[in-house]
Amino acid sequence: MVSHQLTISLDEDAFRALEKRAQSERRPLEEVAASMLTTASKVPATGMTSLEGRFVVGQIVTPSAFDPTEPLILVRGIYYRYRIVGKPQPGQRFVVTAVKDNVLTLTPTNESEDDA
């Protein structure tokens, strides 16, 4: 895989939010930023204006978010039905790539829950 470098400027609020996330995940700031940009590049630009579209598309969810008794997933405090695109591996994280009729489309990422 070819790796590229990018220098970006962030406002103070965005930088602090990124810094806080990196600290909470115990990962380097650059690694978290690169992961977020990679994930965001896989989410289709849909121009969603629904609450779910704005609220959950792009969110990373872990296997622990799946309800063990019902076909539901907990995302940002709300349970949703879901469908998975592709073939996930055990322990793999997912990114919410779309919402239709309150059903989330989950796409596996290259990260596992153990990577956090």
The answer to whether residue 7 scores a pLDDT higher than 90 is no
The answer to whether residue 47 scores a pLDDT higher than 70 is no
pLDDT tens string 49-88: 566 677 788 888 999 999 989 999 999 888 999 999 988 8
Predicted local distance difference test score (pLDDT) of residue 112: 66
Other CB atoms within 10 A of residue 75 CB: 22
Q: How far apart are alpha carbons 78 and 80 in whole angstroms?
A: 6
Phi first, then psi, for residue 15 (nearest 5°) are -65, -45
Q: Which token pair is 113?
A: 């829950």
The answer to whether residue 91 scores a pLDDT higher than 90 is no
* Residue pair 45/52 in contact by the 8 Å Cβ criterion: no
